[in-house]
Amino acid sequence: MIIASTDDFREAARRRLPPFLFEYIDGGSFTETTLKRNVSDLAGIAVRQRVMRDISTLDLSTSLFGQELSAPIVLAPVGIAGMNARRGEVQAARAAERHGVPFTLSTVSLCSVEEVSTATNAPFWFQLYMLKDKGFMDEMLARADAAGCSALVFTVDLPMPGKRYRDERSGLSGPSAFNNQLQRAWQAITHPRWSYDVGLMGRPHKLGNVASALGTDSGLEDFLGWLSKNFDRSVNWDHLRAIREKWKKPLIVKGILDPEDARHCADLGADAIVVSNHGGRQLDGAISSAHTLPGIREAVGNDIKILADGGVRSGLDVVRMMALGADAVMIGRAWVYALGARGEAGVDQLLSIMKHEMATTMGLCGVTSVGAIDRTILAEAN
């Protein structure tokens, strides 16, 4: 099929991937109200078209924590992304490196932080959850530092996993582990391209970063069970303060929706926050990122960098988020759709598409650099 947009990558991934993987990528919590709101609220932001401006030179580049980026785009952390293509996190990190944008490795990735570091040359970011085992957390911080990770993304909006109906229906999770395994096996058999590329050639199917904690129980079937048992529900601001003391490189706090929480992050010394509702995968009914972003920017001013995610499906959406107050934008589902559809080449193509869409939007709005993107490019109706 001809691929020209994120929606096309989504359809290609749906055809290629077993349903338990596609539904995990595509789905949200409960009835997915927040997931849909992320997309619709962002799409509803109107931009001002301007004419007779000299747009012969367009510059998408920016800098973040001393790193020069070719565009204000960051690949967000996505759990078990490596199951969507052979050693998928490595492929995505390579594509991000070629495009000069950061890649963020999830705690619960298939490929370990060491594997990604060995396979790439540019530094990448590492994402960490608050876990009950503080010794393991200290170990992961040391491993990320040793692997040359240039920033830590500390995710705070998952003290307990959201309820995701799609995962239960697809066989990824549910009350009967045996029936889930049978369901996933049948899906794999009926998707032979994925079965060969990932099921056979993409082994080992283990959560590389947490394999030492899981021991022999480190396969995909243990993924959700491990998450629910090991997330620390007692997480509070003291934990963030402790992470700040241990991690000396840029610290980014992900999962902020409230201006007061954003202010706390700034006061405790975080270098950045990510305005995010976890892609609509946690609290269904929560506010969209686009809706809360302007208020958060007003609350923190320029005291802290702001990244945002949620509903971003195009370069136009990246510009919208920046006009609402973001310094850079994270993409999650979009890059995993591309990975599931075409592997590394897909992520490469997606980033090219998004950059082109950004340039087109900026030019037609009459701005020639990302530094010039602000609320003045938004139509008054919004």
Mind telling me the catalytic residues? Answer: 278
In three-state secondary structure terms, 176 is coil
Q: How many CA within 13 A on the CB side of residue 204?
A: 12
**Number of neighbouring beta carbons within 10 Å of residue 324:** 26
Contacts of 287 (CB under 8 A, 6+ apart): 34, 37, 257, 277
Q: In what order do the strands lie in the sheet with 125-129?
A: 73-75, 328-331, 305-308, 272-275, 251-256, 151-155, 125-129, 104-105
Q: Is 309 helix (H, G, I), strand (E, B) or coil?
A: coil
- From residue 55, alpha-carbon distances to 58, 59, 365, 368 in Å are 6, 10, 10, 6
Q: Which of 28, 253, 206, 254 is closest to 109 using CA atoms?
A: 206
Residue 372 to residue 366: CA distance in whole angstroms:
10
Q: Which residues pair with 331 in a beta bridge?
A: 75
**Euclidean distance between CA atoms 63 and 370, whole angstroms:** 10
